[in-house]
């Protein structure tokens, strides 16, 4: 059996985990703030941060607006584009999209990951599930420790590869320590098939 890579030090974060398999290409993150968000109480320091950049939000947000306007045209013809309330609805919807997308802040330390206010200890997971969202158009990993649950959309958590590497190594150790891993997760990430880890701290 292949030894698992060594766990990073909880404080220094070294050695960093090896590169983990991904399903999504990384998208641009905004530059980390000068002061990173605080870790959960009692946990090691924040090592990685991800929040979608404003540029990517503004590039992607108009797409559903165009679809919305197209539906209005199909329903009422091009005269719909002369109605002020159609543009008011589109503007409000655009602002809502920008706010909701930018509100997701993902952080991780050597032994934890947090999305907004929800967080878990990644080496103490009890279940790891791969789930579909949006009628199968997007996917997420739902991970639980003894007390908490976090749902990590893969297009978000894999956007910062260093952050994803930390999370993925924790999932590998947890799977080896008996965490339940659903069939879909094992199919996408075969290394998470449950096994007893052999620690390599050399």
List, for residues 161-201, the tens digit of each pLDDT value: 999 999 999 999 999 999 999 999 999 999 997 555 555 55
Measured distance CA(116)–CA(38) in Å, rounded: 11
- pTM (global) more than 0.75: no
Q: 124's torsion region: left (phi>0), alpha (psi -120 to 50) or beta?
A: alpha
Dist. CA 146–CA 14, nearest whole Å: 26
**Peptide bond preceding 15 in cis form (omega within 30 of 0):** yes
> Could you give the CA distance from residue 152 to residue 160 in angstroms, rounded to a whole number?
13
Round to whole Å and give the CA distance between 94 and 98.
6
Domain boundaries along the sequence of the chain? 54-102, 107-192
Residue-wise pLDDT for 12-70, tens only, equals: 999 999 999 998 765 555 566 667 788 999 999 999 998 765 555 555 556 666 777 77
Count of residues for the chain? 202
Predicted pLDDT of residue 1: 34
């Amino acid at each position: 059996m292949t030894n698992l890579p060594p766990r990073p030090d909880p404080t220094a974060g070294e050695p960093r985990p090896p590169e983990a398999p991904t399903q999504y290409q990384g998208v641009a993150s905004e530059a980390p703030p000068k002061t990173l968000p605080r870790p959960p109480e009692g946990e090691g320091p924040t090592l990685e941060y991800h929040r979608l950049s404003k540029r990517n939000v503004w590039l992607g947000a108009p797409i559903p607006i165009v679809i919305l306007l197209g539906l209005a045209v199909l329903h009422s013809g091009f005269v719909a584009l002369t109605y002020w309330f159609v543009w008011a609805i589109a503007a409000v919807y655009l602002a809502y999209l920008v706010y909701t997308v930018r509100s997701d802040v993902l952080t991780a330390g050597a032994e934890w990951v947090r999305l907004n206010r929800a967080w878990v200890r990644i080496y103490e997971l009890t279940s790891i599930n791969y789930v579909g969202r949006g009628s199968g158009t997007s996917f997420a990993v739902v991970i639980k420790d003894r007390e908490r649950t976090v749902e990590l959309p893969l297009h978000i958590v894999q956007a910062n590869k260093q952050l994803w590497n930390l999370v993925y190594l924790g999932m590998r150790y947890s799977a080896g320590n008996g965490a339940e891993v659903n069939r879909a997760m094992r199919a996408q990430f075969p290394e998470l098939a449950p096994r007893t880890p052999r620690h390599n701290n050399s």
